[in-house]
A and B are shown apart, each in its own frame.
Chain A
Amino acid sequence: AQSVAQPEDQVNVAEGNPLTVKCTYSVSGNPYLFWYVQYPNRGLQFLLKYITGDNLVKGSYGFEAEFNKSQTSFHLKKPSALVSDSALYFCAVRDHGPNSGYSTLTFGKGTMLLVSP
């Protein structure tokens, strides 16, 4: 079974400061990792994904994430936060085990990011 943990319900950061939203995962095979953002009453927007290759993945709106296999983590980062980044962020994982080419997408519980002016 695959799972995702987002240990922080909420992250507060001042505008202009760097931000980190934490995510750890558990899969039986190789992980495919995703970050999505959800604004109030809106759908989820894809930010970035890790499939293979470089552990640092760059995505939309200046966000990036670092895949760390030994720590089974995929933390979302941004060097300088904007007030408009305030939203709900979901980490998600899909397993690519040895006997399957696909699996369902499992989400973490979400982390609310609040960026203050």
Chain B
Amino acid sequence: AAGVIQSPRHLIKEKRETATLKCYPIPRHDTVYWYQQGPGQDPQFLISFYEKMQSDKGSIPDRFSAQQFSDYHSELNMSSLELGDSALYFCASSTGQRSSYEQYFGPGTRLTVT
């Protein structure tokens, strides 16, 4: 079965640079979520989209922005990168935004900021 696809899998950037992470949800999934997982931490919710509209916002820094496109893929744009942004960034998708729906996670993008 098709899974959530994230690209790139690994990314190395320097401080103050920008980065763009991409997420392709499971086909027919219309809801996308972004999470940040620091080393040894639990995933922290950043932002979500339902039918191409932002549906919820978590602890996403103002330096970050995201959007969902007409084909339902999503991009997380990160600017003025800081060392503390080094983390594993997960995208997840579901068939809708209802709380009862499980989220399916991608393999993650490991971002290292030097």
Interface residues of A (CB under 8 A from B): 32, 34, 36, 41-46, 49, 51, 90, 94-96, 100-110
Known contacts A34-B102, A94-B100; can you find 15 more A-B pairs with CB under 8 A?
Answer: A32-B99, A32-B100, A41-B110, A43-B4, A44-B43, A44-B105, A46-B102, A49-B102, A101-B98, A102-B55, A102-B56, A102-B98, A103-B56, A104-B58, A109-B41
Tell me the interface secondary structure of chain B in the complex.
loop
Interface residues of B (CB under 8 A from A): 4, 33, 41-43, 45, 48, 55-56, 58, 90, 92, 97-100, 102-108, 110
- Please give, as numbers and ranges, the residues of chain A lying within 8 Å of B106 by CB-CB distance: 43
Assembled-state Cα–Cα distance A51/B106 (Å): 23
Query: Known contacts being A42-B107, A43-B105, A104-B58, is A110 close to B42, with CB within 8 Å?
Result: yes
What's the A-B contact tally at a CB cutoff of 8 Å?
57
- Please state if B99 and A43 are interface contacts (CB–CB under 8 Å): no
Most A CB contacts (10 A, CB to CB) among B48, B55, B100, B106 go to B100
- Please state if A96 and B43 are interface contacts (CB–CB under 8 Å): no
Q: Which of A32, A44, A105 contacts B45 (CB 8 A)?
A: A105
- A selection of 17 A-B contacts at a CB cut-off of 8 Å is A32-B100, A36-B105, A43-B107, A46-B102, A46-B105, A49-B100, A94-B99, A95-B99, A96-B99, A102-B97, A103-B99, A104-B48, A104-B58, A105-B45, A106-B45, A109-B41, A109-B42
CB distance from A62 to the nearest CB of B (A): 18
- Please give, as numbers and ranges, the residues of chain B lying within 8 Å of A36 by CB-CB distance: 105
- Please state if B99 and A107 are interface contacts (CB–CB under 8 Å): no
- Please give, as numbers and ranges, the residues of chain A lying within 8 Å of B4 by CB-CB distance: 43
Assembled-state Cα–Cα distance A100/B100 (Å): 12
